[in-house]
Amino acid sequence: MWLFLKTISDDGPKWYKEESLIGTSPGLGYRPMNKYNEESSLIWYNIAIENNHKNWTEALDEFLKDYKIKANGPNVVECNYKKKAGKGQVCKVDVDEWDPCISSKLYGYPNGTPCVFIKLNKILKWEADYYDDPNDLPAKMPSELRKYIRGMNKTDSEKMKTVWVNCDGVHPSDRENIGEIEYLPHRGFAGFYYPFEKVDNYISPLIALHFKSITKGAVVKVECRAWAKNIEHDRRDRVGMVHFELLVDHYAP
C-alpha cells in the first residue's frame, strides 16, 4: 500500500510510464467537484435561487488559482503547434482562452449555461500517438468528432497533433437534453503540452466545456472520452474517460 501511494498524486502517477502501477493510459478528471461529498459526481444548482451556484463557482476559483499564479512563472513561455517549450521551460496555459468560462462571468452558472473543466491526468514522459490522419480514423470514434477532424484545414497538419475529446450524453434521453457543447479553447489537448517532464511551473492543459443549451430541470449524464491511439477506454477503472451528471434546476422554492 505504501508503494502504491508513493507513486501517485492527485494528478496521476509520478513514475515513468513503463513503471507506473496504474498503466500507460491516462485517465480524465473533471472540475468542479462536490466538496461535501467526493463520491458524488452530480453538479446540481438552481438558477431560480440567487447565488445557489456559489459552491461550484468558488470551487472553480480555488482550482484555477494555480493556473493564474503559474502563468507568470519565470520559465513559462508561449507555445503553439510549431513552437514547443525549450529545456527547462513549460508552456503557458492561458486562462483568458476559456472566455466565457472565466471567473468574472461566474463560469456561466447564473445564466444556466455552466462550464465544466476536464483534464488528462499526468503520466511522466507520456506522449500521445495521435489520430492525425483524417482518412484513418477508427470506426468506434463518434461520427460527429470524425466529421469535425475531417473538416479541419488540411494545410495546417500540425494541429492534427491533438488528443481529441468528445463529450455526449450517456443515454438517448441524455443526448436529447445535453444541448450544444462548446469546447474551449480547442476540441482537444494540444500536443505541444506533452510530455510532462516534472519541470517547475508545469500545469496540465484544460478544456472548458460550455453547456450552452442544456435542458433545465433534467439530470443529464455526461461522458467524455479522450482520443489517441494509445489511450484506452475503461469505465470501471476510469481510464481515458470520465463521467459526471449535470442538473440545472429552475423552479422557484
Output the pLDDT for position 152.
85
At 22 the pLDDT is 44
pLDDT at 155: 65
Report all structural domains of the chain as residue ranges with CATH numbers, in order of start. Answer: 2-249 (2.60.40.1660)
Contact 206, 117 (CB under 8 A): yes
Cβ(44)–Cβ(53) below 8 Å: no
Report pTM: 0.89
Average pLDDT per 10 consecutive residues for the chain, totaling 253 residues: 38 40 76 88 96 96 95 94 94 94 97 97 93 93 94 81 97 97 96 93 96 97 97 86 96 82
